[in-house]
A and B are shown apart, each in its own frame.
Chain A
Amino acid sequence: MEEITGFLKLALITATPIALGAYAGILSERAGVVNIAIEGMMLTGALVAQLTAMYLYAPLQAAGIPAAEIASLCLGVIAGILAGALLGGLHSITSIRFKADQIISGTVINLLAWGMTGWIYQRWMTATAPTAPGTFPRIPIPGLRQIPVLGDLLFNHQPIVYTMLLLTGVIHYVLFYTPWGLHVRSVGEHPRAADTVGINVERVRYISTIVGGAIAGLAGVWLTLEQVGSFTLRMSAGRGFIALAAMIFGRWTPLGAFGTSLLFGLGTALQIRAASLASASAGLAMIPTQLYQAIPYLLTIIVLAGFGGKATPPAASGQPYEK
């Protein structure tokens, strides 16, 4: 039992950046902007968060701030989110204002992120770098934590996991139960119809894409400040693209994307536990570990090949709006 809960919990944790990335994609695509730069936004968010936390930790300690560790981590989170939002802004300016091809704009942002993070990492985050504050502690929710099984599974996590769970509901509510959501979806389906009833198409697209970028940045923050505690090159490792698969398989809905992300989370959990599984049984040991590592990516291909074609994206996604 303990084994299984542990496994599920690991799945939920590793699903977090994928779900967040998928929400980022949902927000911008629902408004009609295709965003394949989630990978780059994640990577940048991860780096900027780590860099900020790292370089503020010592000064904050020196200034005698009580919980300097947590304070620097929180400032890191804010910086990572802002970095994602900034790239979201860049993507929206090229796609909306300059009507560039959104796939190309997204690709350029990904390349930019790979290059820039690599350079900054080499320059400021290797040997001579100050000590990092580590990762966020778990915050058990009083009361709820005590529920058997579920308590540990759901209410004993680090903050970004909670944020992801919360955002699932919030985005679902905003998209499907509010006027703003109606505007976002109308702009993604039929921008001219939205325009003729007085909705500012460009404004809605800007806001959606930038908020999406911020969420993608947060997904990146999870990597450094919640998971690893340090930055490594290209550490997002394709999660931004897996997130897009989760978005598509989840039919551009937060609940669907959350479910799919959990599936990917299970795949990743399997990969992480592969070593211990292999030592447990001689039969499983036959399977090369590389195969386990390929599980999330194989899942992505299967999901996209098997179901991608049947899902219909928002009708106007990818198309610049011409008055």
Chain B
Amino acid sequence: MSASLSPLPALSHPALEAVEITKRFSGVVANDAVSFSLEPGEIHVLLGENGAGKSTLMNILYGLQKPDQGEIWVGGKAVRLDGPKDAIQQGVVMVHQHFMLVPVFTVLENIVLGVEQTRGQWGQLGVLERAKPARQIQALADQLSLQVDLNAKVGELPVGVQQKVEIIKALYRGARILILDEPTAVLTPTEATELFELLRRLTQQGLSIVLITHKLKECLAIADRISVMRQGKMVGTVYPQQASESLLAEMMVGRKVILQVEKPLMQAGAPVLQTRRLVVWDDRHQPAVNGVDLTVCAGEILGIAGVQGNGQTELSEALTGLRSPAQGQIDILGQDQTGASPRQLIEQGLAHVPEDRGKNGIVKTYSLADNAVLCTYYQPPFAKKGLIRPGAIARQATQLIQEFDIRPANPRVLAGSLSGGNQQKLIMARELSRGAKLLIACQPTRGVDIGAIELIHRRIIAARNQGMGVLLISSELDEILALSDRIAVMYQGKVLETLAIAEATRERLGCLMAGMVQS
């Protein structure tokens, strides 16, 4: 039973409180009279979809942004935060979603940045003290049994370690209240478990913690209390004991959500994609993909699981013609297509949902309609005798808008003005409307609202039921488990193992994602 369930002593103040905070960005109300309260010693999870306003609220509590209205209370006193410096002084420290570490600095330099000690009387122009802070930091790390090399360059450390550096950095500043924004997004399941254990130890030492996430499972596992935000408003606060995944999902979205997708059994057909000993270099000429053999058959979904940065991006780029492989062979529909251009591949029957949709999926400054025919604009009926036929393009767009429920339902709006979910629906619509035989979908639901996730998942399954072969690359384990027929786990550029869905358990995948192969 968690401490916060027992009635609190009448005189104890919340550690941190936001009162009726409102924050507008040109047009968007990111926070609409939001109140939030963090009790001493609790882990309070802030849950909400992308764009719900979670980061904005926490940025305000950390002094990074100024609220338009509302008050901030720390330990029972109203405070004014003119910058992070003020928040840090109050013992409030935030660990951001994208780490705030300077890659070329050492661990030590990153930890002391902004709170340096000097020798002599010259203030900021005095000699930077290193030995003393190093001892203090080492003591902190030992106390929490964390291991870090203070002289290592941060950019060369794995993300899991970088996160520990962020936490030590917060504690070194005397944090009493720790705000973590989506801390598990970049971690393996094992690393996430380790992080949660560390957070527990911290609360036992008296810290209070706000943890932002959009993952339902981990939220139930770690929280003492859960507050849910939707579209800039605070929906409510619940105890995990009273909550379930479906209840939380409903609070997040505002309606009933079907978390499970129906997936009928299918007999896989002939291979539509095969790679042999594929080697692909990253931008620094290191092998990011290192000898990968994959087969995707018609009517099956092969999921590629793995923590971000284990070669998935380079693999997808090689398969879609955006990067030439260094070695090996790629067969698509039985033909050698190694080194083929994206257009050749598209004409062969490849559909591609890229990882970075803003960069490779749509042209933001083109209309929705033009984006709907990006791969086929030069073919009839969209072009005849070298001339574009806007009427045909508009008709196609209108039809796709209907089929995929893209909003706003206006073919003329700029694609860049659509929300992430609608951009992704547009890309899915375009790619699935061309009668392709192979779909390579990379992180298809990243940063997308739950409504769009439902639709995208149903569409991927439907395409597979109609005989399309699908390669699904995702770092969301839940997504991989929900959709795949077989699962390949990538680790450091290699496929460690390929499992049938029946034998793929969370634990087993978790181990593989961390590079542990069962003997």
- Residues in chain A within 8 A of chain B (CB atoms): 174, 177-183, 185-186, 189-190, 192-199, 315, 323
Contacts and interface: CB of A to CB of B under 8 A. Distances in A.
B101 A179 contact: no
B451 interface: no
Given A189-B103, A197-B114, A199-B114, A179 B124 contact: yes
A179 B64 CA distance: 22
A197 B113 contact: yes
Given A190-B103, A197-B84, A178 B114 contact: no
B84 A179 contact: no
A192 B64 CA distance: 10
B118 A178 contact: yes
A30 to B, nearest CB: 11
Given A177-B128, A178-B125, A192 B113 contact: no
Contacts of B126: 178-179
A199 B84 CA distance: 9
Contact of A189 (B85, B105, B114): B105
Interface in B45-102: 62, 64-65, 83-85, 88, 94, 96, 99-102
Given A179-B118, A179-B126, 10 more contacts: A182-B128, A183-B124, A189-B103, A193-B99, A194-B114, A196-B64, A197-B84, A197-B88, A198-B114, A199-B114
Report whether over half of chain B's contact residues are helix, strand or loop; otherwise say mixed. loop
B115 A196 contact: no
A197 B118 contact: no
Given A178-B118, A179-B116, A189-B104, A196 B128 contact: no
A198 B115 CA distance: 9
Nearest to B127: A177
Chain B CB count within 10 A is highest, among A178, A189, A194, for A178
Nearest to A316: B102
25 contacts: A174-B125, A178-B124, A178-B128, A179-B118, A179-B125, A180-B124, A182-B109, A183-B113, A186-B102, A186-B105, A186-B113, A189-B102, A190-B102, A190-B103, A193-B100, A194-B113, A196-B62, A196-B84, A196-B94, A197-B84, A197-B88, A197-B100, A197-B115, A197-B173, A198-B114
Interface in B19-69: 62, 64-65
A190 B125 contact: no
Contacts of B116: 179, 182
Chain A CB count within 10 A is highest, among B101, B114, B115, B118, for B114
B135 to A, nearest CB: 18
Contacts of A192: 100
Contacts of B84: 195-198
